[in-house]
Amino acid sequence: MSWKGRDVINILDFSREDLDLLFQLANRYADEDYRGNDLENRMAALLFLEPSTRTMYSFMSAVYRLGGKPITLSKTEASSIAKGETFGDTIRMFDSYSDVIIVRDRREGAAKYAADIAESPVINGGDGAHNHPTQAMIDLFTITRYRGSVDGLKVGVLGDLKYGRAAASFILGLTIYDPDTIYLISPESLRLKKEVRDYLDRVGVKYFETEDLTDILPELDVLYVTRIQKERFPDPLEYERVRGSYKIDLSILSNAKDDLMVMHPLPRVDEISTDVDNSKYQYYFKQAHNGVYLRMALLKLIMGD
């Protein structure tokens, strides 16, 4: 299936071949720190109806680097759009103004709905609980860029696996490849949702659930850390206990493999100590930086000639 004009709604809509092509171009952009006029006089609408500054600015930078023009509607402006207008009419309006629509919305299915209405391709910048396909692409690209492939790796995912959109999307994305094992490390109350576990079972990806990081850490090739939000816990004491045990610092990492990649979709609060920032384990800033190149490649494949 060709990338040209394609909507990007769910990471599972893409095959390994699709991603190979995407990552190949992203690698080239990253190697060259590429800038060009590929999207000259093309507009990209960035509809961020839920705030997500990192995703928004990363896309904005990607659009600019290819010579395109961002038309940005942030949450703040969006509130003044309403006046009772439907989401569909808003999408139609921005469809008139731009050549691609990147949409972030709290409601599950919003991006799909927009794609059904718009003539321009629609990219899901995050909707509902599962889908944040471009973040998953960035995560998979980062592993591929530094390890050659996701195949055969032992990948730990740590933190809030129940509500964390990035984590769920990443885990689903892993199933497009053949990782050795996925380790799901979370407190019982923030376990990965049953529907995602069922999917892992169905496609036959090996996974292992645990509350404890210590035992499995030495096995891991990748440790994907996510934020645990206080408001998810009915009991503040429980939160303090969990948060402490999932905080990654150099002392904990002394048991890790030499080439462990510590990743994080950012922003972090304190789940990764700053003493990791200048260590060999740090891949989270690289991951954010790679995000720009990945999104450039995505825009180029979808919109380019």
Residues forming contacts to its own copies in the complex (CB under 8 A) are: 35-37, 40-43, 51, 53-54, 57-58, 60-61, 64-65, 67, 69, 71, 73-77, 80-81, 83-86, 88-89, 92-94, 96-98, 266-270, 274, 285, 288-289, 291-292
Closest distance to its own copies from the beta carbon of 269 (Å): 4
Nearer to its own copies, 67 or 128 (CB): 67
User: What's the CA gap between 14 and 10, in Å, rounded?
Assistant: 8
Closest distance to its own copies from the beta carbon of 80 (Å): 4
Closest distance to its own copies from the beta carbon of 280 (Å): 18
Nearer to its own copies, 12 or 304 (CB): 304
Q: Where are the beta strands (DSSP E) in the chain?
A: 43-48, 69-73, 100-105, 122-127, 154-158, 181-185, 207-210, 222-225, 261-263
CA angle 228, 232, 237 (to 5 degrees): 80
Specify the 3-state DSSP secondary structure of 155: strand
155 and 224 Cβ atoms separated by less than 8 Å: yes
Residue ranges of alpha helices (H) inside 118-235 are 133-147, 165-174, 194-203
Closest distance to its own copies from the beta carbon of 109 (Å): 18
Closest distance to its own copies from the beta carbon of 41 (Å): 4
The CA distances from residue 30 to 65, 107, 126, 223, 231, in Å, are 12, 33, 24, 23, 37
Residue of 68, 64, 91, 95 lying closest to 78 (CA atoms): 91
Nearer to its own copies, 69 or 112 (CB): 69
Q: Which two tokens stand for residue 26?
A: 């992203």
Nearer to its own copies, 37 or 189 (CB): 37
Q: Which two tokens stand for residue 48?
A: 């961020």
Closest distance to its own copies from the beta carbon of 89 (Å): 6
Q: Is 78 exposed, middle or buried (0-12, 13-18, 19+ CB in 10 A)?
A: middle
Closest distance to its own copies from the beta carbon of 266 (Å): 7
Specify the 3-state DSSP secondary structure of 105: strand
Nearer to its own copies, 117 or 129 (CB): 117
